[in-house]
Amino acid sequence: MQRRYKSNLTNAYDKAHDPATIKTRKKDFSPLYQSLYQSLYQYIRLSVMALALGAASTVPAMAAAVQMPALIQPANQEHHVGKVIFVELVTPDLVSAEHFYSGLFGWTFQATQDTNTTDGTVYAQAYKNGYPVAGLIQKSVPDNEHRQSAWLSFIAVKDVDATRAAAVQHGAKVLIEPRDVPIRGRQAVFADPQGAVFAVLASSSGDPVDVLAEPGEWIWSSLITRDPDAGAAFYQDLFNYEIFELPANPGKEHLIMASENYARASANSLPSAEPNRHSHWLNYVRVVDAVAMAAKVKELGGHVLVEPRVDRHGGKVAVVSDPSGAPFGLLEWTGDEMKEVTK
């Protein structure tokens, strides 16, 4: 019925605007009105054509959207609110990044289908031991902007929109509004009140199970911020973290944010030697030998930003950057597998 109505409407419109019909009406119109009428008719006709053309040119591009793989394959029913469940790198040179991370950690990469979008963006999923460990996005740096590559932390939530409301209520800025990403889930990106950028994700396929990361996988995250006290409070409001204090010297605050009786991340003071650095999240990959890996970083074209040093847990920690300048951490963690075996 609706189609018939539209058809009748179209016929009536066409008939009313048929040149022959217009020609017969010309007798009734003054030359000025005739001219105006014809111009208006031509404009409407061309606009309709142009809209059709615009839609036709846009729809294929939308169809060629970046198809994000599921976070968990096969899907599970795990949900771990407050856990950093995924990280993504934006880089101007995907080939260089793949070479660096495959050489360093043995990651393998799989470009998603239809990755060549109209703006040149390309996406690749990184795997370690068959498990997805990261996403890499190639995107050119705007010429007029002085920016650096970075890893973006995705923290698990159940309700992205409710998290958005809470984040804004507590002073966050919404950088990317909540949106559904097919297969992946619903996500949004925020800057916390001190400017540290993070994302939240309600994964459609569930969250990674709580197990010890293997070497080459992400094991830890730190919020390094001007005011860890306020930072911890903000994230506690969002993710209902339990906050534990660790003894620390003044200006070197070290808090542990936990959920489900697991430590999820630390909140640390920005080092006094980095007065110009903004608050940020830093993620660490588990390594067996931080010194050897730091040397390998240099061989592969990266940089060592903080030399390997013994940390609170007894292993060494280092901060390095990839060839495009994206910082990340290396963290040694040994022994638990042995305990698991001997139990």
Partner 1 sequence: MSNSPLRFSVLALTVVMAGALLSGCVATGYGYGSAGYGYSADYYEPYGGIYGEWGPGYEVGPYRDGGGRRGPPSGGHAYRSAPASHSMPSIPTGGRGHR
Nearest approach in angstroms of CB 156 to partner 1 is 14
- Residue in 134, 199, 238, 285 binding partner 1, rule: CB under 8 A: 199
HSE of 124, CA atoms in CB hemisphere, 13 A: 21
104 versus 259: smaller Cβ distance to partner 1:
259
- Residue in 6, 25, 158, 312 binding partner 1, rule: CB under 8 A: 312
Q: 165, 284, 282: which is closest to 218 by C-alpha?
A: 284
- Residue in 70, 233, 291, 300 binding partner 1, rule: CB under 8 A: 233
Return the residues of window 31-70 that contact partner 1 according to CB under 8 A.
Answer: 42-43, 46-47, 49-51, 53-55, 57-59, 61-62, 64-66, 68
- Residue in 19, 31, 74, 142 binding partner 1, rule: CB under 8 A: 142
Evaluate the CA torsion angle 224, 81, 198, 118 in order and state its sign.
Answer: positive
The burial class, CB within 10 Å (0-12 / 13-18 / 19+), for 263 is middle
Nearest approach in angstroms of CB 8 to partner 1 is 26
DSSP letter string over 7-36?
HHHHHHHHHHH-HHHHHHHGGGS-HHHHHH
Return the residues of window 118-137 that contact partner 1 according to CB under 8 A.
Answer: 118-119, 121, 123, 131, 137
**If binding is defined by CB under 8 A, does position 210 make contact with partner 1?**
yes
- Using CB under 8 A, count the residues that bind partner 1: 111
Cβ contact 178:186 at 8 Å: yes
Question: How far is residue 155's CA from residue 203's CA, in Å, rounded to a whole number?
Answer: 10
**If binding is defined by CB under 8 A, does position 145 make contact with partner 1?**
yes
Name the one range near partner 1 by CB under 8 A: 1-9, 95-103, 187-195, 289-297.
187-195
**If binding is defined by CB under 8 A, does position 222 make contact with partner 1?**
yes
| Cβ count near 284 (within 10 Å) | 22
**If binding is defined by CB under 8 A, does position 283 make contact with partner 1?**
no
Token pair recorded at residue 124: 């690749």
